[in-house]
Amino acid sequence: MSMLISQTVLETKLFLRNRVTLFWTMIFPVFFMVLFGLIYGDSKWPGMDMRSVDYLLPGIIVMGVMVTGIMHTVMGFVSEREKGVYRRLALTPLKRQTIIGGQMLHNYSIIIIQTMLLIVIGVIAFNIKITGNLFLFWLVLSVGAVSFMSIGFALTGLAKTYRSAMPINQIAYFIMMFLGGVFFPNSILPKFLGYVASVLPSTHMNDALRMVIYNGAGIGDIWQSLLIMVGWILACFAFSIKFFRWE
């Protein structure tokens, strides 16, 4: 356990030294929250009961989780693998599961901080009211975070080099963002894209967060979304076990 904590602290120190990663994981989601909040203000989209900014808060939370869970995981791991970091670590007493565990705990802590920043800005600057169960909110956030991190580790199995990791990363990220209900409801999508959207973890995390935050939904209302995200976790970790490479 002490080695896991030490590895998590090390990952965090390396993260804080990287200004580019700090921007994309911390400032980028906050920028979108402020930008869209200022653009839409108290306006409502046609056919929707909630304000546009209320709709967007859960979506931007999910966007931030995807930046950390997918992009940060893939680019960071592939870069270190290409530099031979893990080959050298294999000669030390540090176990590989400790490395993975440290990265996941580090990424999870980033996601928690991201989410808290977005909620504080939403509540103070745009008068967003969160009325749902906070435990269920944390549960959805945590399951969603693990599902996107598992997708990130699965994608590292497809990316042989840092150069090839970027397009793979972006394809997965943008599909899940634009078809996942982050910026607009999936009801406006063409029917065939609606079928794709209905199985994405981003769609179900978005839906579950909105139901919990604004409708006070209980576990009985969101269990299917949680189950689909858990399914992604299991499938992606199974894929990672088969195709994951340390070198």
- Domain map of the chain by residue range? 2-243
Is residue 221 within 8 Å of residue 211, measured between CB atoms? yes
Question: What is the mean pLDDT of the segment spanning 84-102?
Answer: 72
3: its two tokens: 């080695």
Whether the predicted pLDDT of 61 surpasses 80? yes
- 25, HSE (Cβ side, Cα atoms, 13 Å): 24
Query: What average pLDDT score do residues 148-162 get?
Result: 86
Q: Tell me, what DSSP letter sits at residue 186?
A: G
| Residue-wise pLDDT tens digits, 177-228 | 888 888 887 777 888 888 888 999 999 999 999 999 988 888 999 999 999 9
Higher-confidence residue: 69 or 80? Answer: 69
Cα 123 from chain centroid (whole Å): 21
Rg (CA), the chain: 18
What is this structure's pTM? 0.90
| 62 has a pLDDT exceeding 90 | yes
Q: Report the range of poorest mean pLDDT among 10-19, 51-60, 84-93.
A: 84-93
Select the highest-mean-pLDDT range: 2-11, 123-132, 196-205.
Answer: 196-205
Share of the chain above pLDDT 70, in %: 96
Please tell me the predicted confidence (pLDDT) of residue 26. 84
pLDDT value at 6 more than 80: no
Mean pLDDT for all residues in the chain? 85
Question: Distances in Å between the alpha carbon of 13 and those of 64, 103, 106, 116, 244?
Answer: 20, 12, 10, 20, 25
Q: What secondary structure letter does DSSP report for 130? A: -
pLDDT at 228: 95
pLDDT computed for residue 139 by the predictor: 96
Q: What pLDDT does 51 receive?
A: 86
